[in-house]
A and B are shown apart, each in its own frame.
Chain A
Amino acid sequence: MTGLVPVAASLAKREFTRFIRQPQRVVGTVAQPLLFWLFLGAGFGGSFRPAGMENVTYLEYFYPGVMLMMMLFASIFSSITIIEDRDAGFLQGVLVAPVSRLAIVLGKVLGATSIAMVQTLIFTIASPFLGLHLGAGSLVLLLLGFVLTGIGFSALGFLLAWGMKSTSAFHAVMMVFLMPLWMLSGALFPLGNVPQAMKLVMLANPVSHALIIIRAPFYYGPSVLLGDIHYLTSLSVTIAWALLCLGLSMARVNKREKGIATA
């Protein structure tokens, strides 16, 4: 069997090559969240006065939330190209090759994550204009947050897309499933003043934890964060989520369609 790393790297490189050859896709995925951020930020800016955050503008509050959105949507929508690969026939050639099934999942997931990273990093350029200054240590933690979020959610996208016949079904599922998870993560509004029941939902929501590990490095350095139980909890949850989704995806690819037992 061919080694895991070269196969995954080759397949991930293919994803990336396809992405940069479609400039519309690049522009669209960067511009959409940017507009979202600017318009919502400007619109809500006047009425955003949560307790304890008087000196935080909504544009600043929403900034990590938009980054999260970019990571989520870019990675998930890149990993659904698995549906295209199946339709176009490319996937069957990979499936009959002597490669580990994990390499097939990782190829797609790492490709999707790197695509999402490029977009999100372009957006990171805006941070100095908000008065947010990242030290080297914080930048490393931020990148770690991006990578883990990208892996976890592109693997989720892979898992959901694997059995689907069309990308339109996938878009519909994502709109009713992923959008609410993102909204309930604290990306749009702080979790402070919501009912207890909703708070529980937010805590069980893996997207909330991804938001925490993306937002925290903008305000604290690694020395503080690596000793903070809330940060470490969210970090562990995000890692566990990524491993779970990767494991389930691999099991899904490994499963071959089987004829029913003879009577």
Chain B
Amino acid sequence: MITIQNLTHIYPGARKLPPRTAIADLSLDVKDGEFTILSGPNGSGKSTLFRILCGLALPSAGTVTVAGFDLFAQPAKVREVMGVVFQSPAVDKHLSVGENLKIHADLYGLKGADFVRRRDGALSWTDLDGRLDHKVDTLSGGLARQVELAKVLMTDPKVLLLDEPTTGLDPMSRRNFLAALHKLQKERGMTVLMTSHVFSEADDVDRVAIMREGRLLAHDTPAALKAMIGTEMVVIQSKDTEGLAARLRTEMGLAVRCLGDEVRLEETENGDSLPLLERILERYRPDILSISIKQPGLDDVFIHVTSKAVPDHALALDLKRTGT
């Protein structure tokens, strides 16, 4: 549904600054009806990619097709099948919920009874009942987000792009928003691409793509990504993280990594972790504040993939491993 090929975007350098490459030769294929989360550390090029995908910027090189249309040659065609939810809400706060929905309907040519039916349909899953006449700036952040999503879903897009839509929502609102989004995506078979930092959001999606420095580091199902760093890992907290890590490497021959105040032993097979934990504890007990066995989550995958100082050839290796 969305095919990105060899996309490169270089920002011109402003005032004596050299040009900056935001996206470097990125290729990504999002299949029909898939829910994909796009993630990456700050400055990884996510936002630039998002701006290009919603047709607000043109890249330096590369092609993007959405629903079979060339995004750069036929932007008007793509706009008809695409819905976009921006990080900063694209609603007019001074107008009421109903007025905002009406303007959006006008932009997409929805009229009369069809508009009323689709509007009521789009509002049915929200908590906006009886609030059509309320001004958007009197609503809570969560409700304002719902207006945004209702507005976009009203036009029944084939492809939905969302840019960190849950920013600023409390955990309950976030959960409701995502539940509604997942349900609608399944019902309508929409293709969804959503940028997010929050990995608790990623567990029940179809695929996760991780970017860093404008490159795609991984793109696979959550399960396959978790399998990448072993089935279990041992996490140790110590007063002297670096010192302990060095001793584990030299004295026990373990491939450990330091992350913040943790020493991590990734890629341990099931069942190996407990004996290993016992051996480490026996030897280094005075140095250890806490030690545990952890099932890797997607945030661990994220840290694993994005924290390494990997040269280019290793990136290729990583991609091969994740089967992209």
| Interface pair B93/A260, CB less than 8 Å apart | no
| Interface pair A21/B94, CB less than 8 Å apart | yes
A residues in contact with B55, CB < 8 Å: 95-96, 256
Supply 7 further A-B pairs (C-beta < 8 A) apart from A260-B10, A261-B60: A1-B79, A10-B107, A91-B90, A92-B90, A96-B55, A98-B76, A98-B108
**CB closest chain-B residue, reference A94:** B107
| Interface pair B93/A88, CB less than 8 Å apart | yes
| Interface pair A256/B57, CB less than 8 Å apart | yes
**CB closest chain-B residue, reference A85:** B92
A residues in contact with B12, CB < 8 Å: 260
Q: How far is the CA of A9 from the CA of B91 in the complex (A)?
A: 18
Q: Does B54 contact A (CB under 8 A)?
A: yes
| Interface pair A259/B59, CB less than 8 Å apart | yes
Among B10, B55, B61, B102, the one with the most A-chain Cβ atoms within 10 Å of its Cβ is B10
B residues in contact with A261, CB < 8 Å: 10, 60-61
Partner of B108, one of A11, A97, A257, A259: A97
Q: Chain A 238-263 against B: per-residue CB contact (8 Å), 1 yes, 0 no?
A: 00000000000000000011111110
**CB closest chain-A residue, reference B60:** A259
Q: How far is the CA of A11 from the CA of B100 in the complex (A)?
A: 11
Q: Does B120 contact A (CB under 8 A)?
A: no
Q: Does B97 contact A (CB under 8 A)?
A: no
A residues in contact with B108, CB < 8 Å: 2, 97-98
**CB closest chain-A residue, reference B105:** A10
Among B79, B80, B91, B106, the one with the most A-chain Cβ atoms within 10 Å of its Cβ is B106
Q: Does B88 contact A (CB under 8 A)?
A: yes
Q: Chain B 263-276 against A: per-residue CB contact (8 Å), 1 yes, 0 no?
A: 00000000000000
Within 8 A of B (CB), among A1-22: 1-3, 6-7, 9-11, 14, 17-18, 21
Partner of B107, one of A17, A88, A97: A97
| Interface pair A11/B103, CB less than 8 Å apart | yes
Q: Chain B 103-118 against A: per-residue CB contact (8 Å), 1 yes, 0 no?
A: 1101111000000000
Q: Does A99 contact B (CB under 8 A)?
A: yes
| Interface pair A262/B11, CB less than 8 Å apart | no
B residues in contact with A17, CB < 8 Å: 95, 99
Within 8 A of B (CB), among A61-96: 88-96
| Interface pair B79/A98, CB less than 8 Å apart | yes
| Interface pair A93/B106, CB less than 8 Å apart | no
| Interface pair B80/A98, CB less than 8 Å apart | yes
Q: How far is the CA of A23 from the CA of B100 in the complex (A)?
A: 21
Q: Does B43 contact A (CB under 8 A)?
A: no
B229 → A minimal CB distance (Å): 34
